[in-house]
Amino acid sequence: MHLVVDIGNSNVVCGIFDGSTCLHNWRWDTIKNEQIKMYYQKRLIHNLLENKIDIPNITHVSVSSVVPQINDTIEALLDELFTVKSTFIQHNTHPDLVISTDNPIEMGTDLIANAVAAIHKTKDDTIIVDFGTALTFTVVTRQLDILGVAIAPGLFTALKSLHGGTAQLPEVSAALPKSVIGKNTTHAIQAGIFRGYIGLVKEIIHQIELEQGHRFSRIATGGLSGVLDPLNKEFDYVDKNLTLNGIRLIGMN
């Protein structure tokens, strides 16, 4: 079995794969205090035991992280628990991947994993839209050449920023209102953010394809990829396990 770990700014997601099948996945908050090791060790062991997964059956451990300050602690935890050495993905871990940006080392390993998994799935030039803490658009060719990325604040990031930066606007739930004209403050924020993000996603995809001169395959992923229902027809695939699968594929190289 293959343990896959995706360390993001808001959540740490773990997946257990048997071959290409994701048997289990677990999501926890990302913490950066002195309780890191105990917090994740307790949760990981609990979930392994609860799902009757014997630790010796874990033969591969692969990790993507965009939170470098906790990497050493997580690596020490994993190396203590498992007999196999954990692999932390870097920008140059995958031998066939090309990153055609000014500074490839700056590319988030979660986006690299998304690109690898997307091409494995589509075998086509692809735009991956990841609805996470940041809203990212990764553009990758079928030859595994990442052309570049567009980044906007994620949906929750935008909501929290609006609430935190104003005196009278409340923090609202992630829901798409029926009307774009809000009749109260909560609905007004939801209309502006969620309806606005529908337009943002469509426009970025349109401009990417306009610049490149052809339609791309399109994949949505991330924790909020299912919130914006009107965008469903814009995507060929919605795959919430895309990042985990990409980490698995890179870790098997």
Active centre residues (catalytic): 110
What are the C-alpha distances in Å from 65 to residues 100, 105, 122? 21, 13, 25
Find out whether 227 and 176 touch, Cβ atoms under 8 Å.
yes
What CA–CA distance (Å, rounded) separates 195 from 176? 7
Q: Going by C-beta distance under 8 Å and a sequence separation of 6 or more, which residues neighbour residue 18?
A: 1, 2
In sign, the C-alpha dihedral spanning 79, 7, 231, 100 is negative
End-to-end CA distance of the chain: 15
